Chains A and B, each alone.
Chain A
Amino acid sequence: MLKVAIKRHMTATFSVLTVVFLCLIAISGLASLSALRQLSYSNYDTSGHAVVQLRLHYNLLLSELQVLEIEHPESSVENAKLQYDFVYQRLRNLPFRPPYNSFLTGPELARLEQIFSFVAAEADRFDSAHAADTSGLIGVRDRLVPLSEEINRLAGRIIQLAGEYRDQRRGEITRSTQFLIWSIIGLVLTGTVFAFLFWRSQRSLRNQNRELEAASDELIKANQAKSEFLALMSHELRTPLNAIIGFSDMISHEVFGQIGDKKYIEYSNDIKQSGDHLLHLINDILDLSKIEAGKYQLEPSHFNLHAAITDAIRIVALAGQGGSSRIKLSLSDDVGNLFAGRRSFRQIMINILSNADKYTPIGDDIKVSASNNQDGSIDIRVADDGIGISEADIKHVLEPFGQSRQDSSLTHEGTGLGLAISKQLMELNGGTLSLTSEVGIGTTVLLHFPDQFTRLEVALE
C-alpha cells in the first residue's frame, strides 16, 4: 500500500514537471520565434550603410565643388547638384530612420538636425546654379568642409551603435534558443527518469503478480489435497462404520438370543444412533469435498417437478417428526418439468425439508410452492413457521458447519452441513439459494433455477 502511495505521488510529480517543461518549451519557442520574426522583418543589418553612403556622397560633393572652383567644367555643376541632393536626402532622413532614432542620444539627434540645417541653407544656391553661371556655388565648399570631420565622427558612432544594436538582437535570439534547448533537455530527462521508474515499477508489479499466482496455485493445491484427503478418509471411515451400525443393530434386536441385562440393549441403541449420525456426517463431508474438488457429477436431465418434490416430502416425512400431512404442496399449473441434476435436486429438497421439519414445532405447517416466472426461470419456496434465524446468522448458516447460534440452546440433530451443501449444489446447477427469515415467525428458503429454455439449449449443444 505504501509503495502504491509513493508511485501515485511520483506520477503526480512527473506530470507536473512534464507540464512545466512543456510550458517552458512553448514560452521559449514563442520567444525565439518572435525574436527571429523581428530579425527577419527589421534586422537593420545594413543600417550602418546609410551613414557610410552619407559620408561618401559628402566627400564626393566636396570634390565636385573643388573641381568647379578650379576648372568650372559644365558637367561638374550637374554632378555637384546631384551629390548635393543625395547628401540633402540622407541627412534629412537620418534622424528619423530606424533604428537610429532609437539608439542615438537626444544631443546627437539634435546635432544631426543642426548639420542638416547648415547643409539645407545652401539649397537655393544649388537650385539657381547652372552651367553658364556657377558663381553662386563659389565659397560653398569652404562652409561645408568644417562639417566633414563631425559627419565622420557621427558616422563612426552610428556604425558602432548599429553593431551593438544588432548584437543585442542576436543575443536575445541566442538566449531564448538556449532556454528552449534547456527546456527540451529538462523534458527529455524527466521523460527518461519517468520511463525508467515506470519500467521498474512494472517489473516489480510483474514479480508480485508471479508470486501471487504461485501462492494462489499452492493454496488451490492445498485445498484440493484437503478435499481429496477428506473424500478418501470419509470413504475409508464408512467401512468400519457399517460394521458398527450393523452389529449394534443386531445386538439391539437380540438376533442371536436374548441379552441378560436390558442396559446392553439401551447401550447398543445408543451405539447405532451415534453410528447413524456419524455416517450421515461422513456422507455430507464426502459430498462437500466432492463439490469443492469439482468431482461432483451433476448429470442434468428433464424430470417432473411434482414427482420429484413429492418424493422428497415422503422421505422427510418418514424420518421426521411431524409426518407428511403437515407439509402442504402447491404447484402452479404451468410448472411441468425441471432441467437440473436430479440426484442433486433430491438432495437439496431433502436437506431443506428436513431443516424445516426439524425447526418447526409439531402442529405447525410447512408450505412448499413452485412457480414459473415470465423469464422462463422457476422458483421453489419452502416456508415454515419455525424458530427462524436472526439476520446476522443467515450468513453463518449457509457456511459449512454453521448452525444458527440458537441451536446451542435447542439441541437439534444435524451436521450443520445441509444448507451449505444445498447452496453449493444450487450454484452447481446454475441457480441460487437464498434465505429470508424472522426470529420466532419462520424461515423461507427460495430455490431459483434460471431460464430453463436457455439451460436446456446449452445442455443439448
Chain B
Amino acid sequence: MTFISRTFCQRVLTASLISTLAVAIYLAPMKFADAAMAKPNGKTLLVVTGKISETNVGTEAHLDRVMLRSIGMKKLKTSNQYEPGVHDYEGVMLNDLLSFLSASGATLVASALDGYSIEIPVHDVERYPVILAMIKNGKQMTVREKGPIWIIYPIDQFEELKDQKYSSRSIWQLNRIDVQ
C-alpha cells in the first residue's frame, strides 16, 4: 500500500512537472515573439543601447528609416547656430523614441559617425520637443548634409534654448544613443 502510493505520487509529480515544462517551452517563443521588435529590413540608421526594454539585436535596438518613421514624424521650424537662416526639419520626437523603446535612463550619450559624442539629459527631451531630424526642407539628409540624423532643439520656440550648451547638444550625423 505504501509502495504503490509512493510510486503513484512520484509518477503524478513527474508527469505534471514534465507537462508544465512542455507547455512553458511551447509557449515561451510565442511570448517572446510577441514582445520582440522586428529586425530592421533596411540599413540601420540608429543603434540604441543601455537601459531599454525593447531590443531586437542582442541587448541593442537597431532601427532603420522605416522603423523610425513608424514611430511618428513631427515637424519643427527653427534656426540653429551652425547655419544661417530658418529651416523646416522633420523627424521622430526623441521622447517618443524613448517611450517606444521603454527606456528608463536619466542621461543619453549620443555619438556621431565620426566618433564625436555628447551627453543629453533626458530632462531636456521631456521638457522640449527635441527631434531626431531626418528631413530638412523636405529633403532627406545625407551624411554630406549632416544626416542621416541630426538632433534639433526648438531654439526659436524657447528663448532659454539659445544658450550655448543646447547648441553643443545638437549633435549631427548621429548613429548611436546609449541610455544611461
Instruction: List the interface of chain A (C-beta within 8 A of B).
Output: 40-43, 45-46, 53, 57, 82, 85-86, 88-89, 92-93, 96-98, 101, 123
Q: CB-CB < 8 A to A57: which residues of B? A: 114
Q: CB-CB < 8 A to B144: which residues of A? A: 85, 88-89, 92, 123
Q: Is A85 a contact partner of B142 (Cβ separation < 8 A)? A: yes
In whole angstroms, what is the CA distance A89 to B112 when docked?
14
Looking at B2-10, B64-72, B96-104, B160-168, the stretch in contact with chain A turns out to be B160-168
In whole angstroms, what is the CA distance A57 to B112 when docked?
14
Looking at B19-27, B29-37, B80-88, B123-131, the stretch in contact with chain A turns out to be B80-88
Considering the complex, give the chain A residue whose CB is closest to the CB of B164. Answer: A43
The 5 closest A-B pairs by CB, nearest first: A85-B143, A41-B162, A88-B144, A89-B144, A85-B144
Q: Is B114 a contact partner of A86 (Cβ separation < 8 A)? A: yes
Counting CB contacts under 8 A, is B75 at the interface? no
* Smallest CB separation, A212 vs chain B (Å): 64
* Smallest CB separation, A27 vs chain B (Å): 23
Q: CB-CB < 8 A to A88: which residues of B? A: 144
In whole angstroms, what is the CA distance A101 to B146 when docked?
19
Counting CB contacts under 8 A, is B38 at the interface? no
Interface SS, A side: helix
* Smallest CB separation, A83 vs chain B (Å): 9
Q: Is A41 a contact partner of B164 (Cβ separation < 8 A)? A: yes
Q: A43-B164, A88-B144 are in contact. Are A82 and B113 (CB under 8 A)?
A: yes
Q: A53-B114, A82-B143 are in contact. Are A98 and B164 (CB under 8 A)?
A: no
Q: CB-CB < 8 A to B81: which residues of A? A: 42, 98
In whole angstroms, what is the CA distance A85 to B163 when docked?
29
Q: Is B143 a contact partner of A86 (Cβ separation < 8 A)? A: yes
Counting CB contacts under 8 A, is B145 at the interface? yes
Considering the complex, give the chain B residue whose CB is closest to the CB of A50. Answer: B82
Instruction: List the interface of chain B (C-beta within 8 A of A).
Output: 81-84, 113-114, 142-146, 162-164, 167-168, 173
Q: Is B145 a contact partner of A42 (Cβ separation < 8 A)? A: no
Q: Is B163 a contact partner of A40 (Cβ separation < 8 A)? A: yes
Q: CB-CB < 8 A to B162: which residues of A? A: 40-42
Considering the complex, give the chain B residue whose CB is closest to the CB of A87. Answer: B144
Q: CB-CB < 8 A to B114: which residues of A? A: 53, 57, 86
* Smallest CB separation, A101 vs chain B (Å): 7
* Smallest CB separation, B8 vs chain A (Å): 67
Q: CB-CB < 8 A to B164: which residues of A? A: 40-43, 45
* Smallest CB separation, A173 vs chain B (Å): 14
In whole angstroms, what is the CA distance A123 to B145 when docked?
13
Q: CB-CB < 8 A to B142: which residues of A? A: 85
Considering the complex, give the chain A residue whose CB is closest to the CB of B81. Answer: A42
Q: CB-CB < 8 A to A82: which residues of B? A: 113, 143
Residue among B82, B114, B167 facing the most chain A CB atoms (10 A cut-off): B114
* Smallest CB separation, B136 vs chain A (Å): 12
Q: Which of B83, B145, B163, B173 contacts A41 (CB 8 A)?
A: B163
In whole angstroms, what is the CA distance A85 to B168 when docked?
21
In whole angstroms, what is the CA distance A327 to B13 when docked?
148
Residue among A41, A45, A97, A123 facing the most chain B CB atoms (10 A cut-off): A41
Q: CB-CB < 8 A to B113: which residues of A? A: 82, 86
Q: Is B143 a contact partner of A46 (Cβ separation < 8 A)? A: no
Considering the complex, give the chain B residue whose CB is closest to the CB of A45. Answer: B164
Considering the complex, give the chain A residue whose CB is closest to the CB of B172. Answer: A89
Considering the complex, give the chain A residue whose CB is closest to the CB of B145. Answer: A89
Q: Which of B83, B163, B168 contacts A46 (CB 8 A)?
A: B168
* Smallest CB separation, B117 vs chain A (Å): 13
Q: CB-CB < 8 A to B82: which residues of A? A: 93, 97
In whole angstroms, what is the CA distance A177 to B127 when docked?
34
| A/B interface sample: 20 pairs, CB < 8 A | A40-B163, A41-B162, A42-B81, A42-B164, A42-B167, A57-B114, A82-B143, A85-B144, A86-B143, A86-B173, A88-B144, A89-B143, A89-B144, A89-B173, A93-B146, A96-B83, A97-B82, A97-B83, A98-B81, A123-B144
In whole angstroms, what is the CA distance A101 to B83 when docked?
10
Q: CB-CB < 8 A to A85: which residues of B? A: 142-144
Considering the complex, give the chain A residue whose CB is closest to the CB of B163. Answer: A40
* Smallest CB separation, A52 vs chain B (Å): 12
In whole angstroms, what is the CA distance A40 to B81 when docked?
12
Q: CB-CB < 8 A to A123: which residues of B? A: 144
Considering the complex, give the chain B residue whose CB is closest to the CB of A82. Answer: B113
Q: CB-CB < 8 A to B143: which residues of A? A: 82, 85-86, 89
Q: CB-CB < 8 A to B168: which residues of A? A: 46
In whole angstroms, what is the CA distance A42 to B161 when docked?
11
Considering the complex, give the chain A residue whose CB is closest to the CB of B84. Answer: A96
In whole angstroms, what is the CA distance A415 to B162 when docked?
98
* Smallest CB separation, A448 vs chain B (Å): 77
* Smallest CB separation, B37 vs chain A (Å): 26
* Smallest CB separation, B171 vs chain A (Å): 13
Q: Is B83 a contact partner of A93 (Cβ separation < 8 A)? A: yes
Considering the complex, give the chain A residue whose CB is closest to the CB of B85. Answer: A96
Considering the complex, give the chain A residue whose CB is closest to the CB of B112. Answer: A86
In whole angstroms, what is the CA distance A257 to B109 when docked?
146
In whole angstroms, what is the CA distance A57 to B114 when docked?
9
Q: CB-CB < 8 A to A101: which residues of B? A: 84
In whole angstroms, what is the CA distance A427 to B71 when docked?
101
In whole angstroms, what is the CA distance A65 to B144 when docked?
18
Considering the complex, give the chain A residue whose CB is closest to the CB of B116. Answer: A53
Given contacts A40-B162, A46-B168, 11 further A-B contacts (CB under 8 A): A40-B164, A41-B162, A41-B164, A43-B164, A82-B113, A86-B114, A89-B145, A92-B144, A93-B82, A98-B84, A123-B144
In whole angstroms, what is the CA distance A98 to B80 when docked?
10
Considering the complex, give the chain B residue whose CB is closest to the CB of A56. Answer: B114
* Smallest CB separation, A54 vs chain B (Å): 11
* Smallest CB separation, A14 vs chain B (Å): 40
